[in-house]
Amino acid sequence: MSGITLPARTENLEALIGFISRFAQKRGFSEKRTRQIELAAEEALVNVVKYAYPDQGNPDVEVRCETADGGRLHIHIIDSGVPFHSEDVMPPDLEAGISERKVGGLGLLLMEKMADAVHRRREGGRNILTLTINEETGSDREK
């Protein structure tokens, strides 16, 4: 397992996403799949930066990457911010026009589309988001 810890600030997003990207590339993920990984990770990390520490400044965010059997990549994004409960976020109304849509929810949907599995848990006062990504998505295999 390989990891990086930086303050949860916008200016550190590029370094955090770059770390994830390099890890995926070194494990043989295609350029297309790596871009999908970056997109899912960016959404998760932006949420940590924007929402995890509303009254606490910008403590750290930790990213850990590991590979598992079958070429799966696990990305763990860990923060000690306020508890996050995805069930509190209303799913976006994709049928509504843009001007009628409520703000929020698209990022979670995007993460779920780009990753093969998304798991969230609260453990030891920390939020742990795990994105599990296979080398190919189902749609990649169909082509």
Angle, CA of 29, 112 and 28, to the nearest 5°: 5
First-residue to last-residue Cα distance in the chain: 32
Name the residue among 35, 12, 16, 40 with its Cα closest to residue 118: 40
For residue 19 the two structure tokens come to 């770390």
Residue 91: pLDDT above 60? no
* Cα–Cα distance, 138 to 143 (Å, whole number): 9
pLDDT at residue number 141: 39
What would you report as the CA-atom Rg of the chain, rounded to the nearest whole angstrom? 15
Domains observed in the chain: 2-142 (3.30.565.10)
β partners of residue 74: 66, 132
pLDDT tens readout for residues 8-55: 999 999 999 999 999 999 999 999 999 999 999 999 999 999 889 888
* Cα–Cα distance, 68 to 34 (Å, whole number): 17
Q: Are 83 and 48 in contact (CB under 8 A)?
A: no
pLDDT at residue number 107: 67
pLDDT at residue number 88: 55
pLDDT at residue number 143: 36
Of 53-62, 93-102, 134-143, which has the strongest mean pLDDT? 53-62
For residue 113 the two structure tokens come to 């589309």
Q: If you average pLDDT over every residue of the chain, what do you get? A: 83
pLDDT at residue number 22: 97
pLDDT tens readout for residues 50-89: 889 888 776 999 999 999 888 899 999 999 999 876 555 5
The pTM score is: 0.82
